[in-house]
Amino acid sequence: MLKSSFFGLFALLSFSLCAQNAPDVYLFDISTTPTTLKITEGANISSNAGYDSQPSFYDDNTLLYSRTQDSLTAIGIYDLSTKKTALLTNEPNNGFFSPQRLPETDHVVAVRQNPEGRQRIAEYDFKTKAFQRLRDSSQVGYFKFYDKDAFIASVLVPNQLDLMLSSPAMDTLQKIVSKSGRSLHKVPNSESLSYTVENDDQNMDLYMLDLSGESPTSYFVCELPIGRQDYAWLDENRILVGSGDSLFVYDLFGEPAWVFAASLNAYNLTNTTRIAVSPDGKHLALAAEPVE
């Protein structure tokens, strides 16, 4: 397999902006059967100079993403019904990354980076756009909430990211594993979160973290395709990955292999990275670059 880029201290969030070309966020309608995936109605919903990425569905009709605005990165809101864009945040001295809905609430959480480079999870009221609080004091890079209180996060430590678990039962963050990745998700219809870890070949292995027992338990699922860091769950059994101009699916109950599912060639897209599926499974959002 090809080598994936090592995360390290300088591969996180704001540093990534300098290393990447300027992607946009694209939205598709999708339909699936147990063995097929069809994508239609693709559209660039960010259409914005600079870095637009990290899509996440607030609900079936609302997409959140990181949007470049006046040389900083804000939280963008895209309404699927009206096809209109708005901003949740308007803080000229801060950048925002990995926006997502806080489970069981109407709030949004995101990594807020201050002018000194400090990165912490910030919480905002989606309806009023009012700041609520900072959730943790660690140097958080990427995160995913299990419920409104418990979450996992890839946290910056010297020369790497470590995966940490935070819950109300813990006084401090619990380390799960070293060299964790940026793609963290809640597994649909389960009591598990998923995360990635860099393996000896510098590719990313995907694990599930079961939180149903007295203590968290990790299970190996599969290795991501060549050089890939990002994935999403189509449902509790199928994982979706973008690579170049193609989409691939891994079925936990099928052959242990990534199977070609759809092409983005008709939309002249390449370098697919961040990816998200709407809660109702009808929409797909991803970050990609147009073919020059």
Give the global pTM: 0.91
Is residue 106 within 8 Å of residue 99, measured between CB atoms? no
Tell me whether residue 4 is in a domain: no
Tell me whether residue 208 is in a domain: yes
Number of H helices, E strands in the chain: 1, 25
Tell me whether residue 186 is in a domain: yes
Tell me whether residue 2 is in a domain: no
Tell me whether residue 205 is in a domain: yes
Domain coverage including residue 203: 9-290
pLDDT tens string, the chain, 292 residues long: the values are 222 332 333 334 443 433 446 899 999 999 999 889 999 999 999 998 889 999 999 999 999 999 998 888 999 999 999 999 999 998 988 999 999 999 999 999 999 999 999 999 999 999 999 999 998 778 999 999 999 999 999 999 988 999 999 988 777 889 999 999 999 999 999 999 999 999 999 999 999 999 998 899 999 999 999 899 999 999 999 999 999 999 999 999 999 999 999 999 999 999 999 999 999 999 999 999 999 7
The DSSP bridge partners found for residue 287 are 25
Is residue 137 within 8 Å of residue 119, measured between CB atoms? no
Residue 250: CATH number of its domain: 2.120.10.30
Cα within 13 Å of Cα(22), Cβ side = 11
Is residue 112 within 8 Å of residue 152, measured between CB atoms? no
Tell me whether residue 1 is in a domain: no
Tell me whether residue 259 is in a domain: yes
Q: Give pLDDT tens digits for 212-247.
A: 988 999 999 999 998 999 999 999 999 999 999 999
Q: Is 277 helix (H, G, I), strand (E, B) or coil?
A: strand
Tell me whether residue 48 is in a domain: yes
Number of domains, the chain? 1
Is residue 288 within 8 Å of residue 26, measured between CB atoms? yes
Max distance between CA atoms of the chain, in angstroms, equals 52
Q: Is 30 helix (H, G, I), strand (E, B) or coil?
A: strand
Q: Give pLDDT tens digits for 262-271.
A: 999 999 999 9
DSSP 2: P
DSSP 160-195: EEEEEEE-TT-SSPEEEEESB-S--EEPTTSSEEEE
